Amino acid sequence: MNPFRTSETRRGSAAELAELIRSSEHVVALTGAGISVPSGIPDFRTPGKGLWAKVDPMAVATMDAFHRDTKRFWDFYRPRFHDLADKEPNPAHQALAELERRGLLDAVITQNIDRLHRKAGSEQVIEVHGSIATASCTSCDATYPLEEVELLFDQEGIATCRGCAGKVKPDVVLFGELLPADAMARAEELCSGADLLLCVGSSLEVYPVAGLPQMTLARGGRIAIVTKSSTPYDSDAVVRLSGDVAEELQAVTAALDG
C-alpha cells in the first residue's frame, strides 16, 4: 500500500462494522484526537479550530522549547492540563470500554494523553504518546501524580522538583522525543496480530503510529476507519464511517445488541 495514496472514501454501516467485530478473533482499536472532540477537547490540526492553529507547536511543544523557555512551556500546558483533568469520557470512549468488557476488543492503542479511555473503564490501554497522569523531574527522575504537580510551581510559574529543585516535565511525548519503547513494542505486537484494527478519530498521518495499520494489513488483517477527516488508508478500509465518532460507535454497540 502507498500510504500517501488518495481515493474515494469507502462507505459502510454501523451494522457492517458490528458484524466485522463479532466475526473477528482479535480486534484492536487505535485512537487519535478525534475521539475526544465530543468530550470538549479540541484536536490538533483542524483548520481554524485545532490546537496548533492557535500556537506554533515548535515554540511550546518540543524538548528544546521546554529547556529554552520553561516558563512559556508551562504557561501553555498548565491551563490545558487543568482543563483536561475535568473532562469526562464520551460515548465513543464508553463504547470501546464496553467492547472490551464483552470480550470483543483486545486493547486500545491511543495517541491521546487525556486519560479518558481509562476513565471510561478500558483496562488494556497503551498510551504511545504518554499521559497527563504524571510528571517527572528531568534531573533525578522523581515522579509526581497530576494532582500534586500544581503544588510544585514556583513564583515564576515553573514546576520544580521537591527533592533536587530540577525542572519537572509532564510525562507526555513532545516533538523530537522518541515514543516510549515498551508502549510502541506492545502496539506493534497487537497490530501485527490483529484480525481487525479499528481506527477511530485519527488522521493516521503522524509516524511512527501511522505505520501501525500497515502491520495489520501485512499479516492479512483488515482495518475499519471511523473518523471525519480523510486518511491515507481510506481505500484500504473494509468499512469507512465518517460521522460523529460518538454516534457511530454508539450505533455499533446497538447493532451488536440487535
Contact 226, 249 (CB under 8 A): yes
Mean pLDDT, contiguous 10-residue spans, the chain (258 residues): 40 91 97 94 60 63 90 89 88 98 98 95 97 94 91 94 95 88 97 98 92 97 95 95 95 92
pTM higher than 0.75 for the full model? yes
How many CA atoms lie less than 13 Å away from 94 in the CB half-sphere?
12
Tell me the C-alpha distance between 129 and 178, whole Å. Answer: 9
Task: For cell 479550530, name the residue.
Answer: 49
Tell me the C-alpha distance between 185 and 128, whole Å. Answer: 10
Residue in 104, 105, 170, 100 with CA at minimum distance from that of residue 134: 170
Say how far residue 258 (Cα) sits from the centre of its chain.
Answer: 30
- Residue 43: the pLDDT is 66
- Residue 12: the pLDDT is 82
Q: Is 26 a catalytic residue?
A: no
- Residue 164: the pLDDT is 96
- Residue 154: strand pairing partners: none
- Residue 159: the pLDDT is 96
Encoded amino acid at 15, one letter: A
Residue in 221, 240, 237 with CA at minimum distance from that of residue 26: 221
Q: Which structural domains are found in the chain, ordered by start?
A: 1-41+89-129+178-258 (3.40.50.1220), 51-86+130-172 (3.30.1600.10)
SS3 142: coil
Catalytic residue among 67, 82, 93, 129: 129
Q: Give the N- to C-terminal CA distance of the chain in Å, as an integer.
A: 35
- Residue 44: the pLDDT is 57
Cell reading at 22: 463479532
- Residue 10: the pLDDT is 46
- Residue 98: the pLDDT is 97
